[in-house]
Amino acid sequence: MGTAYKIKCKHCGTEFQHSTSPTFGLYQECVACGCSTHVETEKPIRCPSCLHILNRTPQEFNEQIETVMTWD
């Protein structure tokens, strides 16, 4: 199982893909209702262009997500 995000950095506008897997200690969010909601904030996710930290808070991270894809 895994999750892939298409993210647009609010700081510089760069669009990129970021993927995670629950096997690395991250939790998935329900795509249908958005109900779970644990967004990892201990390990920074940075924009590859400007290096701005995108996940200082779960709210900040969720505002920058364009698309969420999950798979088994």
pLDDT of amino acid 21: 63
Order of strands, sheet of 15-20, starting from the edge strand that comes earlier in the sequence: 15-20, 2-8, 65-71
pLDDT value for 64: 93
Q: What is the mean pLDDT of residues 16-28?
A: 63
Q: What are phi and psi of 68, to 5 degrees?
A: -125, 130
Position 30 scores a pLDDT of 45
Span 37-54, pLDDT tens digits: 457 788 888 999 999 999
Question: In a 10 Å sphere around its CB, with 0-12 CB exposed, 13-18 middle and 19+ buried, how is residue 7 labelled?
Answer: buried
User: Which residues pair with residue 65 across a beta bridge?
Assistant: 7
User: CB-based contacts of 47: which residues, under 8 Å, 6+ apart?
Assistant: 7, 9, 11, 12, 14, 16, 54
Please say if the pLDDT value at position 63 is more than 80. Answer: yes
